[in-house]
Amino acid sequence: MTTVIETDGLTKQWGQLIAVNHLDLAVEQGECYSFLGRNGSGKSTTARMLLDFIRPTAGSARLLGGAGADPAIRGRVGYLPGDLNLPRAMTGNDAFDFFGGLRGSADDPERASLIDRFGLDPTRPVRELSTGNRRKVGLVLAFLGDPELLILDEPTSGLDPVLQEEFRSLLADRKARGVTIWLTSHVMAEVERVADRVGLIRDGKMAKELAMEDLRHQTTGRIRLGFAEPVEASAFDGVDGLTTVDVDGRDVTVSVDGPVAALLRRAGDLGAVHIETQRRDLDDIFLELFDLSADDGASP
C-alpha cells in the first residue's frame, strides 16, 4: 500500500502557542481520513503545512511521495481551505479559468457537471455570493482536474442539507475512483458516511486514532429489554460483556461491550417480551472519546 500523506513530528509554534505538536500521521492511497477536533485544535494549521502554505517549526510532511511545495505535486492535489478568499470582482468562471489554468484543468470536461451538481451560477462575482455559494466555488475548484488527493477543510460549512448530501455522494464517487481524501468536519453524519479512519486532535496533539468501523460498533452498544414483570439488576450478574445495567420498572437498558449472545440467552430465560437496540449519537461518542483522551493525559 502506498502512503499518500506522511508527517513526522510535524510541529508549528507561534511564540508560546503550540498549534500543532509533534504530529505523526500516515494516510494510505484510496483511504478517507477524517481529522477531527474542536475549533482551534490545529486542524487547519495542519492542512496548510501539508501544502507548504505555512512552514513547520519542526518535523516534516510529504504528499504523494514529495513535498507539498513542489508544483508537480501540488498540481495533483485538490484543496479547499477553511476560509476561501477570492478577489471580490472575480466570478466563478474567472476562478475556474485562472486557477484551473495553473493546474492545466481549466478545460476539465467535468467542470460543467460539477457546476450543475452544486447549483452554482458561475457568472456572478464573489462580492454577490453568499457564504454557501462561495463554498460551492471552492468545492468546484478543489475537484477540477480529477486530483489524486483531496485536502478539504470543513467542506460543507455553509451548505444546506440537500447540498451536503450531494457533496457526500460526490466524495463517494471520487473514493470509488481510488482518490485519497483528508478532511476536517464538524458534521458527524458526513464523517460516518465517508471516513475509513478518524484522528482526534486535541490542543495540537493527536489524542486518538481509530477505524470508523470501531466507532460504528460503539454507536450500537445499548439494548433495551422489556419484561412482563419487574426484574432486578442482579438478574444479569455474570453475563459477559455487560458494562452497565439500568432498571426502570419492567424495562432494563444495558450497555454491551462485545457479543450479545449471552445477554440474549439470559433475557430469554428471564421472559423478555421485547428487545430494542438503541443507537447512540455519534456526536456523543466523539465527546466521550475526547474526554477519555484528556483523562489519559494525551493532551498537554
Domain boundary among 165, 189, 216: 216
Q: Is the pLDDT reported for residue 282 higher than 80? A: no
Query: Within this chain, do residues 35 and 161 fall inside the same structural domain, yes or no?
Result: yes
What is the number of structural domains in the chain?
2
- Tens-digit pLDDT profile for residues 150-168: 999 999 888 888 999 999 9
pLDDT band (50, 70, 90) for residue 284: low
| pTM assigned to the model | 0.78
Give the per-residue pLDDT at 36.
86
How far apart, in Å, are the Cα atoms of 92 and each of 76, 140, 145, 146?
A: 21, 9, 16, 18
CA distance 11 to 299: 14
**pLDDT, average across residues 131-141:** 94
Match 440467552 to its residue by C-alpha cell: 265
Note whether 104 and 46 are same-domain residues: yes
Are 35 and 175 members of one domain? yes
Which distant-in-sequence residues (6+ apart) come within 8 Å of 287 by Cβ?
Answer: none
Looking at the structure, do residues 155 and 237 belong to the same domain, yes or no?
no
Q: Each residue of 12-55: pLDDT tens digit? A: 999 999 999 999 999 999 999 999 888 888 999 999 999 999 99
Residue bearing cell 442539507: 161
| In a shared domain, residues 63 and 205 | yes
User: What are residue 227's DSSP bridge partners?
Assistant: 272
In a domain, 62, yes or no: yes
Q: Label residue 30 exposed, middle or buried (CB < 10 Å: 0-12, 13-18, 19+).
A: middle
Could you tell me if residue 292 is inside a domain?
A: no
pLDDT tens, position by position, 76-130: 999 999 888 999 999 999 999 999 888 877 788 889 999 999 999 999 999 999 9
Say if residue 140 is in the same domain as residue 193. Answer: yes
Is residue 294 one of the residues assigned to a domain? Answer: no
- Which domain range does residue 87 map to? 3-216
Helical H runs in 195-260? Answer: 212-219
Residue 33, C-alpha cell as written in the block: 481520513
pLDDT, one tens digit per residue, over 215-261 is 766 655 678 999 999 999 999 999 988 888 999 999 999 988 777 88
Same domain, 249 and 141: no
Strands (E), the chain: 3-14, 17-28, 32-36, 58-63, 77-80, 149-153, 180-184, 197-202, 205-211, 222-227, 242-248, 251-256, 272-278
CATH number for the domain spanning 237: value is 3.30.70.100
For the sheet with 3-14, list strands across it.
17-28, 3-14, 58-63
Q: To 5 degrees, how large is the angle CA 46–CA 129–CA 146?
A: 50
User: Does 31 reside within a domain?
Assistant: yes
The pLDDT assigned to 294 comes to 55
The answer to whether residues 241 and 268 belong to one domain is: yes
